[in-house]
Amino acid sequence: MNDDKPLDLSAEFSRFVAGPSGSPWHKQDQTVLGVASFLSPSVKLFGEYIHTDGYAPLNFISGGNLDENDSRLERFG
């Protein structure tokens, strides 16, 4: 690598607890590793490696389950 083009490294870990212990959606761990460098003043090259362990349903990420009668889902057909 050229010395006047620094390499930026990043790392992140998160743990999301979504449900009771023992449930299929108890938790989700995520690790992200990144690398970036400017090839020129207007061109940035970057890449990320993402590893996810566990399962969290989308409805838990966005606020949990609604009551069956309070759902905003409409079915047609």
- pLDDT digit of tens for each residue in the chain (77 aa)? 445 778 999 999 999 887 788 887 788 899 999 999 999 989 999 999 999 998 777 665 555 555 555 545 555 55
CA distance 40 to 5: 8
The identity of residue 15, as a single letter, is: R
Q: What is the pLDDT of residue 21?
A: 85
Domain ranges of the chain: 1-54
Q: What share of the chain is helix, strand, coil (3-state, %, to 5)?
A: 10, 45, 45
β-strands 43-54, 8-17 pairing: unpaired
Specify the 3-state DSSP secondary structure of 14: strand
Its pTM stands at 0.61
* 8 Å CB contact between 55 and 23: no
